Structure 1
Amino acid sequence: MKSAGETAQKNDARMALSGVIGDVFFAETLFDALSDVVFFVKDSVGRYVVVNDTLVRRCGLKDKAALIGRTPAEVFSQPFGQRYLAQDLDVLAGRSEIDDQLELHLYPNRDPGWCLTRKTALRSKSGEIVGLAGISRDLAMEDKKNPAYHKVAAAVRLIHERYDQPLSLADLAQTANMSVAQIERYFLRIFHLTPRQFIIKTRLDAASRLLAGKTSVADIAQACGYADHSAFTRQFRATVGVTPSQYRAMLGV
């Protein structure tokens, strides 16, 4: 825990720096260099003020000017755009912050992509919320080049083989010959996901592939490890932002 002196010193350093930086949005240039990270700053009503090149490409647009001054509801197809705006308005109202939320996105070419999203409120010197900043980081899954991957490989294999069955942290830990705390740390280090998020992702990956075919939603729910149709629909909507049937319709099936 930081002492009062350390906190005061940190605040003094911030104040000194804020007084000499000419462009408070200097990070935009840095984030332009990251092709796997979306970065944005929005104003008090959720309109884009700063974006990076990755976000422009993900939206299928040509330049940043096409995004500035618009809300997600005006940029993304529905119901995705309205969902992102609703997230923003919750953050701007001080009701919540988005902290590494697992999300499945549909890119302009209809390819699905997984990411972790984080959004935080921006406050004035008086403490008033005046905007928000956020990032959405692509998940490069199955990072088998990571030196630690072999330690959790057995647990990952178990998830892929038995995602249609109930799986507990204890099951995964026993398979990897680790404690529960150890396997949670390794999953976060390698995949940037908790084991539970990894299971959800694996199940919904399978579900999204099946939704591109003619299998009924009820049968897909059962095949992907959900107790019933409604449990599957709740999880799918919470992660993707639409129901399985809406997702299927967006794919043109």
Structure 2
Amino acid sequence: MAIGAPVELWPEAERLIDALSPELVDLLDEMSGTMFCAKDVTGRYVLVNRTFVDRANRRSPRDVVGRTSAELFAPELAARYEEQDGRVLSEAWPLRNELELIRRPGGVPGWYLTTKLPVQRDGVVLGLVSTSRDLNTRDVHDQVIGSMARVVQVVEDRLGVGVTQAELAEVAGCTTGALDRRMRRIFGLTPKQFVLRARVDHATTLLTQTDLTLAEVAVRAGFYDQPSFTRTFVRLTGETPSVYRRKSRALATE
């Protein structure tokens, strides 16, 4: 990826780039429908792909790298991005599946699904990486997207206690059948699959960011017990929770 960095990278940028996989970054530059960026702990952009440059209405990565959100986006957007970044950087906690309205090239607004993850080395947060995927929902009414944003929030808020499809449908203001169709259209997942993925995502964060026992992780991620958690985790990730934790911590100290 042509990151467009100045000749002399600042120290925070060097540490963040050193922690990222060059192959992964190069791959993200090929994803025309997905914005990618990496920010250091000061909030400055270190890496961006071509799609991000286009959405920021800039000519090249060199016009973005080293700048902050406030220098590139409208004040209301920049404030939201900085609030999200602050949480990810200060708490080392991921932000997943955030529905956002972002302007496409030409000024046409479109809905994107944003995920932001902290980048750490030896337990120290070096920055964050972020992707925003264009949902291509030009034929979907904004009220439908808004209802899905509420559903995502309820799922996140109730990971430890569980939520039924009927309850999610009530939140979305539709029938369970309509909810299923909407979530398949926007997320490519059924409501059950979406909730399960959210639980496993939360479990991976707890495994890497806390010293909770596997039984405690299972409960906090909304699983009935540790055996059911382990079975589901292995089925979706190919590894047991304990192996995942050990490998993740080993990678973080390399």
TM-score by length of 1: 0.50
Partner of 1:89: 86
Shift of 1:73: 1.3
SS at match of 1:69: coil
SS at match of 2:67: coil
Shift of 1:90: 1.3
5+ residue gaps, structure 2: 1-17, 148-168, 192-254
Q: In the alignment, does 2:195 pair up with 1:192?
A: no
Work out the CA distance in 2 between the residues paired with 1:77 and 1:171: 34
Partner of 2:72: 75
Contact map agreement 2:93 2:118 (CA 8 A) in 1 = no
Partner of 2:42: 45
Partner of 1:99: 96
Q: In the alignment, does 2:126 pair up with 1:130?
A: yes
Contact map agreement 2:115 2:132 (CA 8 A) in 1 = yes
Contact map agreement 1:32 1:54 (CA 8 A) in 2 = yes
Q: 1:25 to 1:188 in 2, by over 3 A?
A: farther
Q: In the alignment, does 2:167 pair up with 1:172?
A: no
Contact map agreement 2:110 2:137 (CA 8 A) in 1 = no
Partner of 1:55: 52
Partner of 2:33: 36
Q: CA RMSD in A?
A: 3.4
Deviations 1:39-83 (A, max 9, x none): 111111121111100000011111001111111111111121122
Work out the CA distance in 1 between the residues paired with 2:45 and 2:58: 14
Shift of 1:188: 3.6
Q: In the alignment, does 2:135 pair up with 1:139?
A: yes
Q: How does 1:151-230 map to 2 (within 5 A)?
A: 168=170, 171-173=174-176, 184=180, 187-192=182-187
SS at match of 1:191: helix
Q: 1:134 to 1:22 in 2, by over 3 A?
A: closer
TM-score by length of 2: 0.50
SS at match of 1:93: helix
5+ residue gaps, structure 1: 1-20, 144-155, 177-182, 197-253
**How many residues matched?**
149
Work out the CA distance in 2 between the residues paired with 1:33 and 1:95: 28
Amino acid at match of 1:191: I
Q: 1:93 to 1:107 in 2, by over 3 A?
A: same
SS at match of 2:175: helix
Q: 1:114 to 1:170 in 2, by over 3 A?
A: closer
Work out the CA distance in 2 between the residues paired with 1:85 and 1:22: 22
Shift of 1:95: 6.3
Q: 1:23 to 1:138 in 2, by over 3 A?
A: closer
SS at match of 1:56: helix
Partner of 1:116: 113
Contact map agreement 1:73 1:84 (CA 8 A) in 2 = no
